[in-house]
Amino acid sequence: MGVRGVIFDVDGTLVRGEEPIAGAGAGLDAVDATGLRRLLVSNNPTKPPEAYERRLRRAGFAVDPSEVITAGSVTARYLSENHPEDEIAVVGESGLIDLLRAAGLAVDPLGGDASPRAPDVLVASVDREFSYETLRRCLQVLEDRSVTFVGTDPDVVIPAADGDAPGSGAIIDAIANVAGRDPSVVLGKPSESAREMALERLGLPPEDVLVVGDRLDTDVAFGERAGMTTALVRTGIAGATDPGAPGIDPDYVLDSLEGLDSVLDDLATS
């Protein structure tokens, strides 16, 4: 069958915090040696691709910003296409707010001291300053059923340098629970919006792409739903005791990216 492009997850697959994960360099080298196109797709909504280029360079990996898509990138594109003139309130960190403003969107943070102006859209994302007062404000905003509720990504838990931490999904779920309504869309992996953006960036059909990541529910589901080949690497969330995700089965399972060359060899000869 062969592949012509590889999509890598970042956190838990290539790096944890600022440190490279063992075997990650060998995996990237294997892709470069075969001349395959590559793309990094992260569910972190707080930083632009340029920040990933700097972060990965510090970890010893050379990456161009054009090779990076984040949940923030996907969210900016989705809002630009579907809510270009709307007032958007954001529960999230300054990096996401800056990214959305750079896309020309009318964005204000929603927090305890935020303006009471009624928004058309509420975007929920990871926020390390998330508070009871912010949750109360979200409840008030979403009582108006005409307000569109959007989540940046579904990751409830994310790998961090000092251990796993709550992610966007935890914030989204808290808001959805008190508001009694689910988001109209949750972006990032494995959403259709993220898949379309990634395949467009690679310029390849899904059957020519391998997805490699550490999560069944986002990375593997992201590839599986589009008809891509998938590989789960057990260096992040999917550790040795991972209970799995019903109905989601990777084509390959690796202990680290050091084994990626064997996957590429197998695909080239199958």
Amino acid at 243: P
What's the pTM value of the predicted model, to 2 decimals?
0.91
Which tokens sit at 73? 């990138």
Query: Residue 29: how many CB atoms within 10 A of its CB?
Result: 15
Q: Chain-centre distance of CA 192, in angstroms?
A: 12
What confidence score (pLDDT) does residue 240 get?
A: 39
Please identify which of the residues 11, 127, 217, 219 carries the catalytic annotation: 11
86: annotated active-site residue: no
State how far the Cα of 85 lies from the Cα of 105, in Å rounded to an integer.
7
What confidence score (pLDDT) does residue 164 get?
A: 84
What confidence score (pLDDT) does residue 162 get?
A: 78
* Domains defined for the chain, CATH in brackets: 5-43+189-269 (3.40.50.1000), 74-186 (3.40.50.1000)
What confidence score (pLDDT) does residue 125 get?
A: 98
Please identify which of the residues 9, 155, 214, 217 carries the catalytic annotation: 9
What confidence score (pLDDT) does residue 241 get?
A: 39
pLDDT tens over the chain, length 270 residues: 579 999 999 999 999 888 999 999 999 999 999 999 999 999 999 999 999 999 999 999 999 999 999 999 999 999 999 999 999 999 999 999 999 999 999 999 996 555 556 899 999 999 999 999 999 999 999 999 999 999 999 999 887 777 788 999 999 999 999 999 999 999 999 999 999 999 999 999 999 999 999 999 999 999 999 999 999 999 887 543 344 566 789 999 999 999 999 999 999 887
Alpha carbons within 13 angstroms on the beta-carbon side of residue 199 total: 21
11: annotated active-site residue: yes
What confidence score (pLDDT) does residue 269 get?
A: 83
What confidence score (pLDDT) does residue 18 get?
A: 87
State how far the Cα of 12 lies from the Cα of 203, in Å rounded to an integer.
26
What confidence score (pLDDT) does residue 243 get?
A: 46
